[in-house]
Structure 1
Amino acid sequence: MTATLKIAIVTGAGSGIGRAVAIALAGRGFAVVLAGRRQSALDETLGLIGSARTSCRAVAADVSDEAAVDMLFAKTRESFGRLDLLFNNAGVSAP
C-alpha cells in the first residue's frame, strides 16, 4: 500500500450506518477494514463497494469480545501497517 492511502476500520459495516460509511470512505479512496459479527453481511458490503473493494478487507469480529477486537487490529496492522481512522459504529448493550 502507498503512504498516501488512508486506512479506516468501520465497525458495524454489515448494515445500516456502518455500511453507508464504509461505502462512502471507500469511494473517497480509503482502504476500509469492514468489521462486524456476520461475515455474509460484510461480504455483501464489499460487493456494494465495487471496484474499490480490492483495497478493502472484511473481518468478522464481535466488539463485545476483547480477543476478537485484538484480532481485528492485528489483521489491520498485518494488511496495512497502520490505522488512520476508526469509525466506532457497533456497540454493546449492558443489562
Structure 2
Amino acid sequence: MDTISVNKFRDNLKSVVEQVIDRHEPLKVTRRAGEAFVVMSADDWEREQETLHVLQSQSLMQQIAASLETHNGCQGYTPTAEQMDEITGI
C-alpha cells in the first residue's frame, strides 16, 4: 500500500482520488500529529466487506471447502452441452 502525507493528499486531492479509483489500491494517508487513515474506492470497500463476510461465515467456508473437494476430485456437476449454451448465451 502506498503512503502519502496528509498535506500532499490535500494539495493533490483530485488526482490522488482518481489514482486510488483507477488502480483499485488503497492509499495510506499519514498525519504528522495523529493517526493515519486509508482512502479507497467505494466499490473496493464493498468488495472487501463481502470477502470478510464470507471468511467469517463458517457455513459458507464449509460450502467452499466441500466444493473444492469435489472439484479437485473431478466429482462435481457437469452441465450438458445444451445447459452450457444456455449459461453462456451461445
TM-score by length of 2: 0.29
Higher Rg of the two aligned structures: 2
Greater relative contact order (Cα < 8 A, sep 6+):
1
Compare the two structures and name the one with the higher helix fraction: 2
